[in-house]
């Protein structure tokens, strides 16, 4: 297991990069891909200012947009560590009342993206910068990953169909959590059955966590 350390300077630089580049941000989240070298230094960052919810995952060849999903892949895993990330925008959260939006925890779309990136792009670690300043590093647990990947192969599930399957699952999780706790400011405990979740508060400085790396070939061989 590889232990990743991202410094406070790297984190703050990443968070401030969107506003440094765009002085007038649209009310959408900023999505991206970050690649570290084996020395855990930032090697490459791809930012997407057009990302809104899951639109970027349904890229088509009928338009001229550059889609983030085309850049998400586990490239040269022997020499690189690859992450996806999302910087949540306060304007989006303040105007959206759906999908149990909260300023302090990842919304439903972050869990879905983590799953889709893992199952379809072989990128297993997703970093969420929430509006509150809290940072979450999430990744699928092995059993959950293998189960969905196996279903994808057996049933030939396309990414758009998998999205709808996941949406139903996570809406139910968040809905039940909201009913049981009378609020949505903390994570549903059921998510711990499916994900490895690391939470860091805004004053934590450096963050350290295990780099999750699943092996799709194991699923293929066992089928």
The separation between the first and the last C-alpha atoms of the chain, rounded to the nearest angstrom, is: 26
Query: Which residue, 93, 122, 219, 116, is CA-closest to 166?
Result: 116
Query: Which residue, 68, 54, 206, 219, is CA-closest to 137?
Result: 206
Rounded CA separation 66/18 (Å): 17
CA distances from 146 to 59, 138, 205, 217, 222 (A): 25, 16, 34, 10, 10
Percent of the chain at pLDDT > 70 equals 82
Greatest Cα pair distance in the chain? 51
pLDDT in tens, 62-113: 566 666 777 788 778 889 999 999 988 766 554 444 555 567 889 888 999 9
10 Å Cβ neighbour count for 95? 10
Two tokens, residue 166: 């996941």
pLDDT at residue 95, rounded to an integer: 47
Domain ranges within the chain, ordered by starting residue: 2-222
Query: Which residue, 107, 83, 121, is CA-closest to 28?
Result: 107
**Cβ–Cβ < 8 Å for 145, 214:** yes
pLDDT in tens, 168-177: 999 999 888 8
Report, as an integer, the average pLDDT of 181-192.
82
């Amino acid at each position: 297991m590889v232990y990743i350390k991202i410094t406070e300077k790297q984190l703050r630089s990443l968070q401030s990069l969107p506003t440094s580049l765009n002085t007038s941000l649209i009310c959408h989240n900023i999505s991206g891909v970050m690649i570290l070298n084996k020395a855990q230094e930032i090697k490459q960052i791809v930012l997407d200012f057009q990302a809104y919810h899951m639109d970027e995952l349904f890229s088509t060849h009928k338009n001229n947009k550059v889609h983030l999903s085309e850049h998400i892949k586990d490239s040269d895993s022997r020499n690189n560590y690859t992450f996806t990330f999302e910087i949540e925008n306060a304007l989006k959260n303040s105007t959206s009342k759906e999908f149990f939006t909260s300023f302090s925890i990842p919304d439903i779309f972050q869990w879905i993206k983590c799953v889709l990136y893992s199952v379809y792009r072989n990128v297993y670690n997703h970093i969420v910068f929430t509006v509150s300043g809290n940072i979450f590093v999430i990744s699928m647990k092995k059993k959950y990953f293998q189960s969905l990947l196996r279903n994808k192969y057996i049933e030939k599930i396309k990414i758009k169909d998998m999205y709808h399957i996941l949406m139903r699952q996570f809406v139910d999780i968040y809905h039940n959590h909201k009913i049981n706790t009378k609020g949505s400011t903390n994570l549903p405990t059921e998510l711990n059955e499916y994900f490895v979740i690391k939470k860091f508060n805004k004053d934590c400085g450096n963050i350290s966590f295990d780099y999750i790396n699943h092996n799709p070939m194991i699923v293929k061989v066992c089928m």
